Amino acid sequence: MAAKKTSPRTAVPSGPVPFTKDQDLEAYREMLLIRRFEEKAGQMYGMGLIGGFCHLYIGQEAVVVGMQMAMKPGDQVITGYRDHGHMLSTGMDARGVMAELTGRRGGLSKGKGGSMHMFSIEKQFFGGHGIVGAQVSLGTGLAFADRYRENGNVSVTYFGDGAANQGQVYESFNMAELWKLPVVYVIENNKYAMGTAVSRASAQQDFSKRGTSFNIPGEQVDGMDVQAVKAAGERALAFAREGNGPYILEMQTYRYRGHSMSDPAKYRSKEEVQKMRTEHDPIEQVRTRLLDGHKVTEDDLKKIDADVREIVNAAADFASSDPEPDVAELYTDILR
């Protein structure tokens, strides 16, 4: 262990291996599930069924889906508050996620956590955290536990370009490299921290270099291309799993919606959003490959669309009809 490593920034990463038809179908379905789920969540928020804050993941789907395709069972996931996509991609039940958004007893946190706070020990998903940047130290702690137990697992710790300016991120980078912890830091750079553009908040806008002073290698990845995400994820996970310490992936991505439901997103132009949607949409890229390259028919895709809609509609029905938590739940789960 602790072999002298070369910086992958200096090496030219080989281009992503093209997906097989089955991989493209899997990626298409998983990304579509997140998008349809989030659209439905937005609709249900509009109907007053979802309260408080609701941060949608629309546009960023390729990041979690590509990373999930690169991960192994046992690897942990932790993220911030824009977390519905991460939960769905780890295989958490759409009904349970939606029912948590509506604050019902069948929600994954029994209705007591809400949009920003859900967990699944079974799927090794450790939240869902509402304090910007807190998950970076926590995810480093998950990696500490992996290293302590020598179980060969890696902690995949997601955070945004906004969280990347929090102090504890760098405290965590330092310890992760010092102790060679198996953690992949995935920085989802969606260009805006709430309403503040990266250029207005970040002195170093190349987030892959944010670990440079700790000797943590990093690379920038086209986060709208699920193939590129998976390939980079595999490199980073292998590096961390082999005992070389942490690795940073800056995923260059974009959120189509506002920061939260109540954000009209006046800080960017309609044209900017439209350009990303038409030229870089992660789902459309895969759809085009499936139709043109893999010779999948429109009807095949319609069937996937229908399946996904059925899952989302069932989740919405459940989340609307499931009762609120029993009042006795007020005083449970405070101490174990």
Partner 1 sequence: MAIEVLMPALSPTMEKGNLTKWVKKEGDTVKSGDVLAEIETDKATMEVEAVDEGILGKILVPEGAQDVAVNTPIATILAEGEDASAAPAPAAKAAESAPSPAAAAAPVTPAPSAVAAPPQVTVQPDPEVPAGTEFVTQTVREALRDAMAEEMRRDGDVFVMGEEVAEYQGAYKITQGLLQEFGARRVIDTPITEHGFAGVGVGAAMAGLKPIVEFMTFNFAMQAIDQIINSAAKTLYMSGGQVHCSIVFRGPNGAAARVAAQHSQDYTAWYSNVPGLKVIAPYSAADAKGLLKAAIRDPNPIIFLENEILYGHSFEVPKLDDYVLPIGKARIARSGKDVTIVSFSIGMTYALKAAEELAKQGIDAEVIDLRTIRPMDVDAIVASVKKTGRCVTVEEGWPQSGIGAEIAAQLMDKAFDFLDAPVLRVTGKDVPMPYAANLEKLALPSVAEVIEAVKAVTYK
Task: Tell me if 34 contacts partner 1 by CB under 8 A.
Answer: no
Interface with partner 1 by CB under 8 A: which range of 121-129, 194-202, 206-214, 296-304?
121-129
Exposed, middle or buried, 111 (CB in 10 Å: 0-12/13-18/19+)? buried
According to DSSP, the residues that pair with 197 across neighbouring strands are 192
Which amino acid appears at position 140 of this protein?
T
The arrangement of strands across the sheet holding 76-78 comes to 76-78, 155-160, 183-189, 247-252, 218-222
Is residue 110 near partner 1 by the rule CB under 8 A?
A: yes
- The answer to whether residue 86 forms part of the interface with partner 1 (CB under 8 A) is no
Residue type, 151: N
74 is a site residue for partner 1 (CB under 8 A): no
21: number of Cβ within 10 Å: 13
107 binds partner 1 (CB under 8 A): yes
CA 24 to each of CA 97, 225, 240, 280: distance values in angstroms, whole numbers, following the listed order = 25, 11, 26, 16
State which residue, 53 or 311, has the beta carbon closest to partner 1. Answer: 53
Strands 247-252 and 218-222: parallel
Q: Which segment (4-12, 169-177, 218-226, 245-253) binds partner 1 by CB under 8 A? A: 169-177
> Quick one: 234 or 263, whose CB is closer to partner 1?
263
Give the angle 214-226-158 at the CA atoms, nearest 5°: 40
The only residue of 118, 184, 232, 283 in contact with partner 1, by rule CB under 8 A:
118
* Binding of partner 1 by 62 (CB under 8 A): no
Residues between 208 and 247 with contacts to partner 1, criterion CB under 8 A: none
Contact pick of 16, 70, 75, 76 for partner 1 (by CB under 8 A): 76
* 168 contacts partner 1 (rule: CB under 8 A): yes
Span of 62-70, 131-139, 213-221, 291-299 interacting with partner 1 by CB under 8 A: 131-139
Asked whether the beta carbons of 323 and 104 are under 8 A apart, the reply is yes
195 binds partner 1 per the rule CB under 8 A: no
User: What x/- string results for residues 258 through 277 when contact with partner 1 is judged by CB under 8 A?
Assistant: ---xx-x-x----------x
